[in-house]
């Protein structure tokens, strides 16, 4: 691999339609040099279309694509110096590992001696030294994924595009590969864009996450910021479980709101940062792991409906009088008062005010 500089990627007012479907509404997005950005969202949200526009496989209806500040909107894919890894790896079954990796070099008419050295370097990079003469069917899923990655990197691309690259792997292998791929990306300092629908994968692998829905980017930020401080209900519920409550603004002063949060028949008052109108109705959210659960004391009365042990934590579904949907709470060990709660147990719920997130959505 050469010491090429990391380049930025910028989308400026990009849009794309397929017939009546708005795959991408006017969208602007920037990726810093050496950054790993995750495009996260459900199927049909526009994340793969965004990646294909960057790669040059789709021509946008409007807008500009820039790589390293250069307008590449009208350049063919093979002129953009990009590496790409697909979910199904797209390895040629009739070629050996070495031939698969060297394919892009041959297309660029690199001499055979240089090809051989670059293939060996790429295999060493992904910890597959000595695998040149094997075929894809002789490799495990994780090894095939590494070969696909080596093939994408062997041409020294300026930007690496990853389209659900770990989707075909089982859970344990996928989690291990997330860390491996992230470490490799950091070591190479290569600007990378990851498409995924897996929330944990996006949080684990990226410097920033862009959450998409219906062709629009709803929020962009560091994983912890997007998770802890979602802007709206969609982001809060897509990026993990969220308990959403309705709230009324009782007072607004100095950039803070005094809220009356309706939790079924109970009301919780909280002071949170934000702007609002006196009497306005807003939605607020709190993550299950931020919910305090106690057998006694003050708080919202609730009853345990279901308890599930998930290895590292206990998950509870709780019924709150007057509330149509359950409240979810996650508890790490030690458990509540030293023991797991059982269905039917009466408890009290609460949360620290700083973990209550004011959403942009108005209450219905």
- Span 341-362, pLDDT tens digits: 899 999 999 999 899 999 999 8
Structural domain range at position 330: 241-362
For residues 40 and 80, membership in a common domain is answered with yes
Q: What's CA 267's distance to the chain center, in Å? A: 34
Q: Which of 215, 232, 249 is the last residue of a domain?
A: 232
For residues 205 and 126, membership in a common domain is answered with yes
For residues 271 and 203, membership in a common domain is answered with no
Mean pLDDT, residues 292-319 taken together: 91
Structural domain count of the chain: 2
Asked whether the beta carbons of 226 and 240 are under 8 A apart, the reply is: no
pLDDT at 1: 56
Strands 281-286 and 243-253: antiparallel
Q: What is the pTM of this model?
A: 0.90
Phi, psi torsion values for 26, nearest 5 degrees: -45, 115
Q: Is residue 275 part of a domain?
A: yes
Q: Is residue 3 part of a domain?
A: no
pLDDT at 259: 94
pLDDT of 69 above 60:
yes
pLDDT band (50, 70, 90) for residue 224 = very high
Q: d(Cα 230, Cα 227) in Å, to the nearest integer?
A: 6
DSSP codes, 347-362: EEEE--GGG-EEEEEE
For residues 108 and 209, membership in a common domain is answered with yes
Q: Is residue 1 part of a domain?
A: no
For residues 28 and 80, membership in a common domain is answered with yes
Q: Which two tokens stand for residue 70?
A: 């250069």
Which residue bears the tokens 């949060």?
261
For residues 199 and 275, membership in a common domain is answered with no
Q: Which of 201, 232, 263 is the last residue of a domain?
A: 232
Q: d(Cα 142, Cα 297) in Å, to the nearest integer?
A: 51
Q: Is residue 4 part of a domain?
A: no
For residues 192 and 245, membership in a common domain is answered with no
**Which residues touch 148 (CB under 8 Å, ≥6 apart)?**
85, 86, 89, 90, 91, 165
For residues 213 and 247, membership in a common domain is answered with no
Q: d(Cα 160, Cα 179) in Å, to the nearest integer?
A: 16
The CA-based angle 110-114-118, given to 5 degrees, is 105
Length of the chain: 364
CATH number where 136 lies: 3.40.50.300
Q: Is residue 2 part of a domain?
A: no
pLDDT band (50, 70, 90) for residue 276 = confident
- The gap between the terminal CA atoms of the chain, to the nearest Å, is 55
For residues 70 and 209, membership in a common domain is answered with yes
Which residue bears the tokens 């709803």?
218
Give the whole-number percent of the chain exceeding pLDDT 90. Answer: 70
Rg (CA), the chain: 25
For residues 122 and 15, membership in a common domain is answered with yes
Q: Is residue 207 part of a domain?
A: yes
Task: State the chain's mean pLDDT as an integer.
Answer: 91
pLDDT at 149: 92
DSSP element (H, E) containing 234? helix 233-238
For residues 46 and 168, membership in a common domain is answered with yes
**Which residues touch 216 (CB under 8 Å, ≥6 apart)?**
25, 27, 46
pLDDT of 207 above 90:
yes
Helices 97-107 & 112-125 angle (0-180, nearest 10): 130
pLDDT of 3 above 70:
no
Q: Is residue 206 part of a domain?
A: yes
pLDDT at 2: 55
pLDDT at 334: 56
CATH number where 281 lies: 2.40.50.100
Q: Is residue 167 part of a domain?
A: yes
pLDDT of 333 above 80:
no
Asked whether the beta carbons of 256 and 228 are under 8 A apart, the reply is: no
For residues 43 and 133, membership in a common domain is answered with yes
Q: Which of 179, 214, 232 is the last residue of a domain?
A: 232
pLDDT of 340 above 90:
no
**Spatial CA neighbour of 205 closest among 221, 216, 194:** 194
């Amino acid at each position: 691999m050469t010491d090429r500089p990391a380049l930025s990627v910028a989308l400026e007012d990009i849009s794309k339609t397929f017939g009546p479907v708005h795959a991408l509404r006017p969208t602007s997005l920037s990726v810093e040099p050496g950054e790993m950005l995750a495009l996260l969202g459900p199927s049909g949200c526009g994340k793969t279309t965004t990646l294909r526009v960057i790669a040059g496989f789709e021509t946008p209806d409007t807008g500009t694509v820039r790589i390293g500040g250069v307008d590449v909107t009208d350049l063919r894919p093979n002129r953009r110096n990009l590496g790409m890894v697909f979910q199904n790896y797209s390895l040629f079954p009739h070629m050996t590992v070495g031939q698969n990796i060297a394919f892009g070099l041959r297309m660029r008419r690199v001499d055979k001696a240089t090809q051989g050295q670059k293939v060996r370097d790429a295999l060493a990079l992904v910890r597959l030294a000595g695998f040149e003469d094997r075929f894809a069917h002789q490799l495990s899923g994780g090894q095939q994924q590494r070969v696909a990655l080596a093939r994408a990197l062997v041409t020294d691309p300026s930007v690496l595009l990853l389209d659900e690259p770990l989707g075909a792997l089982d859970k344990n292998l996928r989690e291990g590969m997330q860390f491996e791929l992230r470490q490799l990306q950091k070591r190479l300092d290569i600007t990378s864009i990851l498409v995924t629908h897996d929330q944990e994968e996006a949080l684990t692998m990226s410097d920033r996450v862009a959450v998409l829905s219906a062709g629009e980017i709803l929020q962009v930020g560091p994983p912890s910021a997007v998770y802890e401080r979602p802007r709206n209900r969609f982001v809060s519920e897509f990026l993990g479980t969220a308990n959403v409550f309705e709230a009324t603004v009782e007072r607004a002063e100095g950039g803070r709101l005094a809220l009356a949060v309706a939790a079924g028949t109970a009301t919780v008052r909280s002071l949170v940062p934000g702007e609002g109108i006196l009497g306005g109705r807003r939605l607020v959210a709190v993550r299950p792991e931020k919910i305090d659960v106690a057998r006694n004391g003050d708080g919202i009365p609730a009853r345990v409906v279901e308890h599930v042990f998930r290895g590292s934590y206990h998950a509870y579904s709780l019924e709150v009088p007057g509330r149509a949907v359950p409240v979810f709470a996650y508890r790490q060990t030690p458990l509540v008062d030293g023991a797991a709660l059982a269905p039917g147990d009466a408890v009290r719920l609460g949360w620290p005010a700083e973990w209550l997130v004011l959403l942009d959505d108005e209450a219905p």
